[in-house]
Structure 1
């Protein structure tokens, strides 16, 4: 089943958010706070869906557009908890100016 942004927002509470080891490392390396991740989900939109990801369906969100630091967050969910897989600042090398469209290689 696909995830919706409303479902993600409803689950986006500190008690429901889990970080993968990969996400913990990347957030620290990139100076991204968990509050930034939460803000991304709460203000953003789903721009890509990965319904067949294991162990849970996941998606790429784009948020924080009204700040100097728009953010991409990959989040998976079992419809009860959110698993933050990674987060990063989108690069103009890989993303079109709308930050939603991947550039062709």
Structure 2
């Protein structure tokens, strides 16, 4: 399995080796986002947090933008494919800004 880094993530997106979790699909619908919005945000994004100890497998948080709107995407790897675990807009109170976590 390849390392979870932004280069690998972008390569998997471009090769079509990705899928959405059911949770991510629900969040897209809930937030009125398109899959293309998320893919564009990942392709122009950067990893801002890593979760190597996640019990479900190593994952990371990507900050990207679509039409200047910040989008957070949590991704992991499964069977050499990228899994888009969840997608959300970084908003208060959980986020002070797109890079800074707020209070709980």
CA distance in 1, matches of 2:86, 2:32: 12
Q: Which residue of 2 aligns with 1:27?
A: 28
Q: Which range moved further: 84-93 or 50-59?
A: 50-59
TM-score w.r.t. structure 2 length?
Answer: 0.85
Q: Which residue of 2 aligns with 1:100?
A: 99
TM-score w.r.t. structure 1 length?
Answer: 0.84
Q: How many residues align?
A: 103
Unaligned 5+ residue runs, structure 2?
none
Runs of 4+ in 1 over 4 A off after TM superposition: none
Q: Is the 8 A contact 2:93 2:103 kept in 1?
A: no
- CA shift, 1:81, in A, is 0.6
Which structure dedicates a bigger proportion of its chain to strand?
Answer: 2
Task: Deviation per CA, 1:25-71: give whole Å up to 9, x if none.
Answer: 11111111111111111101101111122433110100016x34210
Q: Which residue of 1 aligns with 2:41?
A: 40
